[in-house]
Chains A and B, each alone.
Chain A
Amino acid sequence: MAEPGNTSATPSKPAPWNDPAVRSVVFQVVAVAAVAYFFYVIFDNTFTNMEKRGITTGFAFLDNPSGFGILMSLVEYDESHTYGRTFLVGLLNTVLVSFLGIIVATALGFTIGVARLSSNWIISKLAAVYIEVLRNIPLLLQIFFWYFAVLQVLPGPRNSFSWNEAVFLSNRGLFTPAPVFESGSSLIFGALVVAVVTVIAVANWARKRQETTGQQFHTVYVSIGILLGLPFLAFLVSGMPVSIDYPALKGFNFRGGIRIIPELMALLWALSFYTAAFIAEIVRAGILAVEHGQSEAAHALGLRPAPTLKLVVIPQALRVIIPPLTSQYLNLAKNSSLATAIGYPDLVAVFMGTTLNQTGQAVEIVAMTMAVYLTISLSISTLMNWYNKRKALVER
């Protein structure tokens, strides 16, 4: 240490118990030990308890037949399928309601957020009332309201509300006509694929043409035209191979068509209406975050209000909107687990509820369920961080 000529350059070492580096290592080792001991105790207790209660461990139960039916399933399922299958059914139902909820909530939320900023006093105030009412009432209460106070008290199938004898609404759910694709309808799907490819090509061509000639092209309208037109053309050419299956009253319930169970409807409405209130506030804040000077500068350059929105305001507002928006999407997905309360068979209801009750394998089931939600959350927030880094405004 004390080499001649070098003494002043090396600070003298403090006593180990005063050295921050040593302290920090000791502290961390102690913390790890404490946490490890904590988990050891928990595992030990859990194994003892489970042994005593005769609960089996491991994931073998996933291959056992479940023996219970599920109200709604996107894949083939009945009592003879395994618990592994119930997991899948629950997961798909969770994904379904989250996906639909996100679409409806986004559309509604953006509309209401923009309405809140409207220069029209009545529209703005109506939007404010919507936001303040919906977001200050617990979601579970709203789910109950839609399910027990609205859908359950609808008349039975025999007296259901009907629209053109095609769509029926009763306490058994919403029945709508379903398209039945017969042989030959593959042409329609082919046409759809072709349409998508064409639209991409058209968009590319329009951009190129703009760059060389300056002419704008109504890409949006043309795209919609192609997307609807081509499959319709294929439908006509292939001899209209699609028939419609109308729901019809048979006995005490409807047969045929598509059935949307009231549990799904109630959950979907409540989730979307509730989340839309939050999204509306996010959208409003995002648009307000774009300084007024930005649209003034655009106006001064001769841009009309619509292109100003499209080219200047929205791109900047989106940077502010998207991060909290994704966390709302995550909230919606997590909140879909309230399905349990009204019996919509989502992951938590069928797996953490029924399956756990039947098998008693709490540890495995809770871990699997939580892992699903964690995976969704973590992957989306990773994606978000990446997006934020990429889109962050370059500052000095």
Chain B
Amino acid sequence: MSETQANVQSAPDVSTLAVEIKDMHKWYGEFHVLKDINLEVKQGERIVICGPSGSGKSTLIRCINRLEEHQQGQIMVQGIELTDDLKKIDEIRREVGMCFQHFNLFPHLTVLENCTLALIWVRKMPKVQAEEIAMNYLERVKIPDQAKKFPGQLSGGQQQRVAIARSLCMSPKIMLFDEPTSALDPEMIKEVLDVMVELAHEGMTMLCVTHEMGFAKMVADRVIFMDVRQIVEENEPNEFFNNPQHDRTKLFLSQILDH
């Protein structure tokens, strides 16, 4: 417990932006996949990113923790610029947690070991203490009783909650979510969204790719709409949903709200 507090103690300096992206371009080989991205995220801000399939949402969010590298422009995370420098990448990954669409839990490790792995090997923490922290987060996502099971034995919703707990164990200052609920059955979506809402209310900086518009309305400070591999429109949720500016946005909203 003391350790969690210790990690939060270097509270984010409010003046530095959590994420700052300037004139960023990315190519996959010859394919121009992100065009002229400009984005500023303040500390504690909750951003929802939406847009049609193939618009580059995943790519954008994966650039933020350098799972993908960009070729032009600048990405700053907590004031650290992303370059080839391995030290910087380490630092940034310490600040940023990520949840994937397909959970990507480690199937050969128990739920508890999934959560303690990085604490032990990255934070160099004693096992006992790591387990204490992990149990703490597993309680917050409401599955402490599954700690000794293997991921394969859990439902999708439970797995995604473990994945969230696993990221939170590293006490990140920013959380990235890439369609965390789109591989889940409807009845499991809620249990994951509840955890995310709670997290949002605690003041975590979040960038979330999702099509859950209810979630966006409830917690987002800003909604970003991407299409044709660009940012088309960004606005606060009320404006975004009730008064979309761009035809593409209107079309997209009419399509997903119809359902």
Binding site for B on A (CB under 8 A): 210-216, 291, 293-294, 296-304, 307, 311-312, 315-316, 319, 393-396
Contacts of A298 in B (CB 8 A): 106, 117-118
- Per the bound structure, the CA–CA distance linking A393 and B110 in Å amounts to 11
Contacts of A307 in B (CB 8 A): 121
CB pair A296–B104 under 8 Å, yes or no, is yes
> Which of chain B's residues has its CB closest to A213's CB?
B126
CB pair B108–A296 under 8 Å, yes or no, is no
Out of A213, A296, A302, A393, which one reaches B170, CB within 8 Å?
A302
CB pair A212–B102 under 8 Å, yes or no, is no
CB pair A211–B126 under 8 Å, yes or no, is yes
- Per the bound structure, the CA–CA distance linking A298 and B94 in Å amounts to 12
Query: Mask for B92-129, Cβ within 8 A of A = 1, else 0?
Result: 01101110101011111000000001101111111111
With A211-B128, A294-B106, A300-B65 in contact, is A394–B150 under 8 Å at CB?
yes
Contacts of A212 in B (CB 8 A): 126-128
CB pair A311–B117 under 8 Å, yes or no, is yes
Whole-angstrom distance between the Cβ of B12 and the nearest chain A Cβ: 18
Contacts of B126 in A (CB 8 A): 210-214
> Which of chain B's residues has its CB closest to A291's CB?
B104
Q: Which of A214, A215, A296 has the most CB of B within 10 A?
A: A214
CB pair B150–A301 under 8 Å, yes or no, is no
> Which of chain B's residues has its CB closest to A208's CB?
B127
Contacts of A393 in B (CB 8 A): 107-108, 150, 152
B218 interface residue (CB < 8 Å to A): no
Q: Which of A214, A301, A311 has the most CB of B within 10 A?
A: A301
Out of B117, B118, B124, B154, which one reaches A215, CB within 8 Å?
B124
> Which of chain A's residues has its CB closest to B131's CB?
A211
Out of A211, A300, A302, which one reaches B127, CB within 8 Å?
A211
Chain B contributes a number of interface residues (CB within 8 A of A) equal to 38
- Per the bound structure, the CA–CA distance linking A319 and B150 in Å amounts to 16
CB pair B93–A302 under 8 Å, yes or no, is yes
> Which of chain B's residues has its CB closest to A207's CB?
B127
**What are 10 A-to-B residue pairs whose CB atoms are below 8 Å?**
A212-B128, A214-B120, A214-B126, A297-B98, A300-B65, A300-B93, A300-B98, A303-B118, A303-B121, A316-B107
Q: Which of B90, B93, B107, B130 has the most CB of A within 10 A?
A: B107
Contacts of B86 in A (CB 8 A): 304
CB pair B90–A302 under 8 Å, yes or no, is yes
With A211-B126, A394-B150 in contact, is A316–B108 under 8 Å at CB?
yes
Query: Mask for B146-157, Cβ within 8 A of A = 1, else 0?
Result: 000110111000
> Which of chain A's residues has its CB closest to B90's CB?
A302
- Per the bound structure, the CA–CA distance linking A293 and B98 in Å amounts to 12
- Per the bound structure, the CA–CA distance linking A316 and B114 in Å amounts to 14
- Per the bound structure, the CA–CA distance linking A311 and B121 in Å amounts to 9
CB pair A319–B108 under 8 Å, yes or no, is yes
B67 interface residue (CB < 8 Å to A): yes
Contacts of B93 in A (CB 8 A): 299-302
- Per the bound structure, the CA–CA distance linking A275 and B126 in Å amounts to 43
- Given known contacts A210-B126, A298-B106, A302-B93, what 5 new A-B pairs fall within 8 Å (CB)? A294-B106, A300-B98, A300-B167, A301-B93, A316-B108
- Per the bound structure, the CA–CA distance linking A14 and B53 in Å amounts to 62
- Per the bound structure, the CA–CA distance linking A293 and B103 in Å amounts to 9
